[in-house]
């Protein structure tokens, strides 16, 4: 079968696009292995209208359930290649499957930035993590550090302070840049120490991570002893599909879209964190907005084509 829309990614933008598409009676398939996408990593989501206090995992599950109920197909597969052949998109996945679609919406989000320290990969899963929500429970009553100073880092440190004995927050800036509500909450925690104007410059430990070397001494010590470190220093989009499909990107590699979420390539739209839309405000509310707009644009595009 040839779907009306192949939706690449399984985050908020994808489900929103699917929900709108299904209500326009456009057949659609969502590709992605992580139900809910990045928001599934959020310990709590408190800014999504109508659902004042929900875990990221629950929110993702609700999005998926609604999409499926309306008729979306879901393939728990990663898309490895997309080719446009005689006006039809051929979508290939890591399960060696091939799907066909008239249009594509890319909702691939972003990927976590690394510190780029020499032994970073060596300690991954051995005391080093990029997802506090996923791994926090391994650090009950232990000492951990979070690296970063924006929302993700502040929220992670706050969550970890409920579980760990001691939390260091290490940030190179002069003040934390998270949402003031989250920063205030963190400041009130007795087991949190904030180390500003400092960078980790080395990771050390015998078989697993044991200490972080700091760019300048803290309380007279060059090292902080830890059982775990959580790197929360932002993320950036993957260049795979822009390169493969000839999509225009901005200077930070975000896919350029117009106000209908269309890319420069006919038949391909993009929505959510991977785009340069919504004034760079990368949140669930903006991702679902862009996903809805993309589906609406495709509805108009396919209606016009069928009338032509």
Ligand X SMILES: Cc1cc2nc3c(=O)[nH]c(=O)nc-3n(C[C@H](O)[C@H](O)[C@H](O)COP(=O)(O)OP(=O)(O)OC[C@H]3O[C@@H](n4cnc5c(N)ncnc54)[C@H](O)[C@@H]3O)c2cc1C
Q: Which is nearer to ligand X, 9 or 205 (CB)?
A: 9
Q: Which is nearer to ligand X, 32 or 242 (CB)?
A: 32
Q: Minimum distance from CB of 44 to ligand X (Å)?
A: 7
Q: Minimum distance from CB of 118 to ligand X (Å)?
A: 25
Q: Which is nearer to ligand X, 10 or 205 (CB)?
A: 10
Q: Which two tokens stand for residue 209?
A: 């991570």
SS (H, E, C) 46-65: CCCCCCCCECHHHHHHHHHH
Q: Which is nearer to ligand X, 60 or 200 (CB)?
A: 60
Q: Minimum distance from CB of 159 to ligand X (Å)?
A: 9
Looking at the DSSP assignment, which residues form a beta bridge with residue 275?
255
Q: Minimum distance from CB of 32 to ligand X (Å)?
A: 4
Q: Minimum distance from CB of 147 to ligand X (Å)?
A: 14
Residue 186: strand, helix, or coil: helix
Q: Which is nearer to ligand X, 10 or 28 (CB)?
A: 10
Q: How are beta strands 28-31 and 2-8 bridged, if at all?
A: parallel
Q: Which is nearer to ligand X, 61 or 78 (CB)?
A: 78
Q: How are beta strands 228-231 and 128-129 bridged, if at all?
A: parallel
Q: Which two tokens stand for residue 41?
A: 């990593």
Q: Which two tokens stand for residue 46?
A: 């408190």
DSSP structure class, residue 124: B
Footprint of ligand X (CB under 6 A): 8-14, 31-32, 34, 37-39, 41-42, 45, 47, 78-79, 107-109, 152, 155, 272-273, 282-285, 287
| Element (DSSP H or E) covering residue 22 | helix 12-23
Exposure class string for 82-113: b at 16+ Cβ within 10 A, else e: beeeeeebebebeeeeebebbbbbbbbbbeee
Helix 151-161, helix 180-187: angle, nearest 10: 30
Q: Minimum distance from CB of 205 to ligand X (Å)?
A: 25
**84 Cβ contact partners less than 8 Å away, ≥ 6 residues apart:** 90, 245, 265, 267
Q: Minimum distance from CB of 308 to ligand X (Å)?
A: 31
Looking at the DSSP assignment, which residues form a beta bridge with residue 147?
170, 231
Q: Which is nearer to ligand X, 181 or 208 (CB)?
A: 181
């Amino acid at each position: 079968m040839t779907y009306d829309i192949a939706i690449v990614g399984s985050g908020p933008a994808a489900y929103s696009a699917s929900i709108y598409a299904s209500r326009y009676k456009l057949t659609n398939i969502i590709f992605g292995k992580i139900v809910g996408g990045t928001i599934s990593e959020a310990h709590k989501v408190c800014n999504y209208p109508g659902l004042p206090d929900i875990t990221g995992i629950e929110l993702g599950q609700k999005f998926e359930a609604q999409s499926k109920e309306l008729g979306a197909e879901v393939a728990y597969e990663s898309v490895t290649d997309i080719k446009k052949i005689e006006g039809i998109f051929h979508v290939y996945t890591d399960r060696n499957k091939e799907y066909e679609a008239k249009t594509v919406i890319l909702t691939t989000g972003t990927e976590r930035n690394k510190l780029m320290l020499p032994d970073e990969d060596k300690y991954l899963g051995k005391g080093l993590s990029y997802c506090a929500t996923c791994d926090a429970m391994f650090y009950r009553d232990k000492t951990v550090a979070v690296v970063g100073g924006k929302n993700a880092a502040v929220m992670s440190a706050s969550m970890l302070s409920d579980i760990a004995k001691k939390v260091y927050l290490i940030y190179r800036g002069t003040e934390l840049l998270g949402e003031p509500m989250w920063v205030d909450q963190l400041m009130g925690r007795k087991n949190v120490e904030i180390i500003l104007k400092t960078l980790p410059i080395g990771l050390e430990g015998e078989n697993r991570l044991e200490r972080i070397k700091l760019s300048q001494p803290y309380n007279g010590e060059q090292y902080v002893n830890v059982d775990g470190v959580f790197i929360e220093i932002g993320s950036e989009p993957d260049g795979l599909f822009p390169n493969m499909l000839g999509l225009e990107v901005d200077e930070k590699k975000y896919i350029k879209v117009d106000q209908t979420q269309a890319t420069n390539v006919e038949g391909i739209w993009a929505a959510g964190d991977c785009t340069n839309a919504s004034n760079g405000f990368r949140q669930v509310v903006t991702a679902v907005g862009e996903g809805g707009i993309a589906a609406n644009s495709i509805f108009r595009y396919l209606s016009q084509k069928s009338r032509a």
